[in-house]
Structure 1
């Protein structure tokens, strides 16, 4: 307004008297857009550009003549709009980058947790395949000390040695360096292992294989020790040996072989435990184990040889024949 001139405000057109506050309101709208609305960076940038273009057009067209808004104020308001537009766009970009990183980290964490759970399940299954269930549970417990091993004395356990004596004559390294013979022996032992998955043989635990000899025991689990019937686990082991012989006979028909199974079983007290820290192996020791091994080595083909005290416990269910006195050294 020129100096010395006065105008009646009521007679002037309705223009904004304080345009800077209107611009401040526009700035707040952009801040709200950038800080609270969850939109993509490109969408936010497009909206901010449209808002700034609209506000600049309003700043130069609608906010009144030059008498009410001088050039310096227009320039300051114009710079203010551009500055906040850049800041809002930059903030939106940072928020999107942070959101993307959070999403990637979350997916990575979920994937790693799933891999850890799968690896733990695999290790648990592997440990339970190597060790008896109650021994594996002991090693997996959190209360066990890191260097503490497992050993336990048992009062009544049945031990079995089942060997295939004529496999030694069958084995030959002339064909594929003996690989085919070992593959056939593996098929035999796999058939024996499949029997352990049956419910009636749940008390039987595979101990190890020694050459063509399959070693197993029954009565090691705490459930078997609490059973009232003394010969329950012994009966399960005898039935297991009979089923092993049936499986071997079936394999002979398909492979055109004449393998025979020789079994020795004994029962009594022994000690079981885990040997080794890096490669743990469960094994059993005692006179019962030695006696079962001698029953196998001095037995005959397709028979189960047991000592006198074991025969007195296992009185029914199988056909028995007294062999007489025999020295087992």
Structure 2
């Protein structure tokens, strides 16, 4: 038996002894030696997450609509934030390649098709404006994205740059300022960018971040926004929604989907349809707030429901 003061029991391994002058046994010591690399990565990520550098300009709304594919895209973006951090801090093109384009692809855009995603786009009649990325629909831009290096903090000069882009976009379009991690989403009205929210890719549940970005920049939602605005622009007063028509359209949609997929027609019950028609949500965030509308309904039918309400 060991003499007191010469060896002690390891605090992590019952029954395993260690020299008194060491805090743990040899096995625990070797395990600790293998941990620093992962720890350093977490430390770098946490350090950057704690500093918004002025990008986060207003509080974030609560969103809960999990979609596995969208969450996977955000997970990949977070991985790229860690492993391509130095490249994206040194080069704006790396920010676009590793942090922005993968997110756009996850939101439904074909980043290899210039008819959908254009780079260094030149608006007609304005040679002084050249946004880094233009999202296109029917041959016209529906959103401009200005990219910055990952290490760049927010600057009012950037918003001034975004204002010039907004002058070249129609009402209902979107202007975005991003360094790959923080995405400032602005709605365009009267040729001016109006800040809607700032989305931090690296903070919060991946499903929530994906839902926010999908509401703001997904291909389907941007096309709906611009199409709806183009029909109403110039009217002095927006007409009230025809709730009976919406209710009927939603029922026909539900019955058609049930027949097409061989499912029960009560995925959307009459009660839920009535609530949707009564409240007339105009985006997925508002739709989620309706009692009885769960994540599965949002994922499978959300975009279609919003199109029906908007008259598309």
For normalisation by structure 2, the TM-score amounts to 0.24
Which protein is richer in helix relative to its size? 1
Higher-Rg structure is 1
